Amino acid sequence: MKIKLLILIISSNLYASSYGELLFNGNCVTCHSTNELNKSAPTIKEIQNIYKSAFPEKKDFIFYMSNWVLNPNKEMGLMDDSIKKYKLMPMLGYDRETLEEISAYLYDLKE
């Protein structure tokens, strides 16, 4: 029993990474790629940079980002140039908890 549990822990670390990552890959990556190839929206690196400089604290980053994605609007957007270039992001209808998971993943995301 102990051995099984250990294997489960090890394999989930290796393969699943995080719940936030799964959610991001399922819901956001179609528009926000992690590299420069897709240009229908800013890459996630661009978003992360701007949000991190505005909200260096993880909890503020999560709070602001999940609120914005819950209800995208020009007034509260940090990325005016992107809004002009790509048009405002559509409202997607995810709940706050899901968006908080995704935002936490995006805060921690490394290259």
* Among 21, 25, 33, 83, contact with ligand HEC (rule: CB under 6 A): 83
Q: How far is the CB of 83 from ligand HEC (least distance, A)?
A: 4
Q: Is 61 helix (H, G, I), strand (E, B) or coil?
A: helix
79 scored as a contact of ligand HEC (CB under 6 A): yes
78 scored as a contact of ligand HEC (CB under 6 A): yes
3-class SS letters over 66-100:
HHHHHCCCCCCCCCHHHHHHHCCCCCCCCCHHHHH
* Among 15, 90, 97, 111, contact with ligand HEC (rule: CB under 6 A): 90
Residue 31: CB atoms within 10 A of its CB come to 16
Residue with tokens 């993880």: 58
Q: State the residues that interact with ligand HEC by CB under 6 A.
A: 27-28, 30-32, 41-42, 47, 65, 68-69, 72, 77-79, 82-83, 86, 88-90, 92, 94, 102
